[in-house]
Amino acid sequence: GAVVSQHPSWVICKSGTSVKIECRSLDFQATTMFWYRQFPKQSLMLMATSNEGSKATYEQGVEKDKFLINHASLTLSTLTVTSAHPEDSSFYICSARTSGNTIYFGEGSWLTVV
Amino acid sequence: AQTVTQSQPEMSVQEAETVTLSCTYDTSENNYYLFWYKQPPSRQMILVIRQEAYKQQNATENRFSVNFQKAAKSFSLKISDSQLGDTAMYFCAFGGGSNYKLTFGKGTLLTVNP
């Protein structure tokens, strides 16, 4: 299957700082990428849909000023958690849609805010 | 809005046996895709199998097959010859709409016992 790479896998940041997570489709062009958050023992919660060259579409209840999403190219989307706080600590995972409408996921990123 | 229901929070099976995980969904769309993803303890989301709604033939992928009943909006996953490495959380997902964003069920934790 197609490969989606997410970086970093683990990140620890201080409260009040910002942290950026990258999501890359390595062997295909992805016009659409998605960002999810997963709480312990729960399913994936869609945060936003990212389309190349346009503003992201955020799900209800997700603060767009806190979770900045940029999809500047067909192979890269970034999620920036701004002014992070301990309650933002979570597992974040991205996915990318192929032209055949199959969706592949990155490896995920663990964020810990201290 | 779409909904996906996985009614079995946990299941177990003996190694080499067959197990079926159930999934039902609700939608008013005609064109959509259905997926099963596996999430082992590493939290990586691994695509197991994919079904296009317009195809009547059930998808198969080695030991994994689905029973897709479009009228009943049912999409079950059968795992044959279960292996210890199949132990994971399994998520059923519906992909539809303009971006084919995924709606997930709550997951079924499958344990394969030796």
What's the CA gap between B109 and A83, in Å, rounded?
Answer: 35
What pLDDT score does A100 carry? 86
Q: Does residue B95 sit at the A interface (CB-CB below 8 Å)? A: yes
- For A78, list phi and psi in degrees, rounded to 5: -125, 145
Can you give the length of chain A in residues? Answer: 114
Question: In a mutagenesis test of the A interface, which of B36, B62, B102 is the best target, namely the one with the most A β-carbons within 10 Å?
Answer: B102
Examine the pLDDT at A105 and tell me if it is beyond 90: yes
Domain residues for the domain of B89 are 3-113
pLDDT band at A81 (very low <50, low <70, confident <90, very high): very high
CATH number of the domain within which B91 lies: 2.60.40.10
Contacts of B42 in chain A (CB under 8 A): 107
What pLDDT score does B1 carry? 77
Of A57, A91, A103, the CB nearest to B102: A103
Which of A17-26, A75-84, A94-103, B104-113 bottoms out in mean pLDDT, i.e. has the lowest?
Answer: A94-103
Average pLDDT, chain A: 94
Is residue A59 a contact partner of residue A46, using CB atoms and an 8 Å limit? yes
What pLDDT score does A52 carry? 85
Amino acid (1-letter code) at residue A64: K
Angstrom CA distances, A107 to A46, A96, B59, B100, stand at 16, 12, 25, 20
How many distinct structural domains can be found in chain B?
Answer: 1
pLDDT band at A72 (very low <50, low <70, confident <90, very high): confident
Neighbours of A16 (CB within 10 A): 10
Mean pLDDT by 10 residues, chain B (114 residues): 93 98 94 95 94 93 97 97 97 89 95 97
pLDDT in tens, A6-53: 999 999 999 999 999 999 999 999 989 999 999 988 999 999 999 888
What pLDDT score does B72 carry? 95
